[in-house]
Amino acid sequence: MNILLTGGAGFIGSNLAQYLLKTYPNDKVITFDKLTYAGNLESLKSVEGNSSHIFIKGDICDAPLVRKTFKDYDIDAVLHLAAESHVDRSILGPKEFIETNVMGTFTLLEEAKNAWGSGSENVFVNVSTDEVYGSLGKTGAFTELTPYAPNSPYSASKASADHLVRSYFHTFGLKVITTHCSNNYGAFQFPEKLIPVIILNALARKKLPIYGDGLNIRDWIHVLDHARGIDVALRSGKAGEVYNFGADAEWTNIDLVRFICSELDELRPATDTRPYSDLIEFVKDRPGHDQRYAIDSSKAKTELGWSPENDFKTAMRSTIKWYLDNLDWTERVKSGEYISYYAENYKDR
Ligand code: NAD
Ligand code: DAU
C-alpha cells in the first residue's frame, strides 16, 4: 500500500510512521505535515534514509498540493492525524483549530473522493479523540454509541471533522473509518501536554501546575498500542464503522503526577534530596475542563482482535526514562516558534 499519513511529524504520527515502516517493509509511507510548532522532523530521525518513507512539508488545507500528492504517489490509503491538538491552545485561539481540523479534513476528504472515484475500495481512516463525547460522571465509559457532546473548541472542531467524514461515507460512498482514542503517553510527546510538562518542570525544579483540584480523570494508553489500533482499523475495519481505543488505565491527575514524581525520585533524585512532589502547585482550572474520560474498547477487541499490550506503570516508567535520555530533543523542539508562545501565554510557569 501507499499510505498517506497526515500529521506524521507529530507525537502519535511519528510513532505510527516508525511502527508502519518496521512492520510492513513493502508498504510506502508518505508523511504529509505542515511542521507547525508541534511537528518535528527530528521525531522521524530513525526512519531518515528509509526508501519506503517520503516526507512532504505541506498544509492539509492546500488542496492543489494534496491533489498532487494523491497523484504523484498513487495513494491508496489515508491515515489522517494532522490536527491542532492542544485543548489549552484552542481556548486561547480557536481559529487555527477550525482551519486545520475542520477545513483541512474537508480538503482531504474531497481530494480522496476525487482521486479514488466512486466504488473504490481504498480506505480513509480518520483519527479522532474520546473528547468528542464530552465528560463522564463517576461511572460508565464512552462507547461508539455515546452521543457527541464536545466542550472545548478543540473537541468541537474534531467532532465537526468526524461528522464530515461520516457524511462522505453515506453520501459519496467513500470508505471511511473513524477511531476515538483516550489520552496517549510515550516517546516524542510535545512538551506542553501534562506528562512531559511534569517531567521537565520537575527536573528544572519548577512548579508542577495542576489545574483545579487535580481530581479530573484521564484514561491513559501507550502511544504504540494506539498506533497498532489505527493500523488494525485500516487493515481489518469495516467501512463506515467507528472504533474506540483505550487501555483501562484511569488516573486522577494528582495521582498520576504523584506517581511520576515518585518514579523520578528513584530515577533522578533531586540534588537537594527533597521529593519532587514538593513542587506540586494547584493552579487556576482550565475553562470547561472535562471531569472524566474512560473508554470502552470492547468493540475493537471483539471485531478487530485488538487489545493493548502495555502495562501502564511499566510503560510509564519507560516513558519517563525516554525523556531523561532525550532532554536534548525536548530542548530543540521547544526552541523557535514555541518559545515565544510559551513566554506570552505561560509566563507564570
Ligand atoms: P500533535 O500536536 O503532536 O501532532 C499534530 C501534527 O499535525 C504535527 O506534526 C503538526 O505539524 C501537524 N499539523 C498541524 N496542522 C497541520 C496542517 N494544517 N497540515 C498538515 N499538518 C498539520 O498531535 P498528536 O497528539 O500526535 O495527535 C495526532 C492526532 O491524534 C490528532 O488528530 C489528535 O486529535 C488525535 N488524538 C490525540 C490523542 C492524544 O492523546 N495525543 C488522543 C486521541 C486522538
Ligand atoms: O483524550 C484525548 C485527548 O488527550 C486528545 O484528543 C488531545 O489531543 C490530547 O492533548 C489530550 O487532551 P487533554 O486535555 O486530556 O491532555 P493534556 O495533557 O493537555 O491534559 C491532561 C490533563 O491534565 C487534563 O485534565 C488537564 C490537566 N493538566 C494539563 C496540563 C498541560 C494539568 O493539570 N496541568 C497542565 O499543565
Q: What is the pLDDT of residues 9-58, one digit of tens each?
A: 999 999 999 999 999 999 999 999 999 999 999 999 999 999 999 999 99
Ligand 1 center to residue 85 CA distance, Å? 5
Active site residues: 130-131, 154
DSSP class of residue 295 equals B
Where in 200-274 does DSSP place strands (E)? 208-211, 217-222, 242-245, 250-252
H or E stretch at 32: strand 28-33
Please enumerate in sequence order all residues whose Cβ is within 8 A of that of 278, keeping only pairs 6 or more positions apart, or say none. none
State pTM to two decimals.
Answer: 0.97
User: What number of CA atoms fall less than 13 Å from residue 22's CA on the CB side?
Assistant: 12
Q: pLDDT class for 316, splitting at 50, 70, 90?
A: very high
Helix (H) or strand (E) holding 6: strand 2-6
87 CA to centre of ligand 2 in angstroms: 7
Please state the domain extents for the chain: 2-186+219-249+288-314
pLDDT tens digits, one per residue of 45-78: 999 999 999 999 999 999 999 999 999 999 999 9
Q: Is the CB of 184 under 6 A from ligand 1?
A: yes
Question: What is the SS3 string spanning 162-178?
Answer: HHHHHHHHHHHCCEEEE
Residue 339 has pLDDT above 80, yes or no: no
CATH topology for the 2-186+219-249+288-314 domain: Rossmann fold (3.40.50)
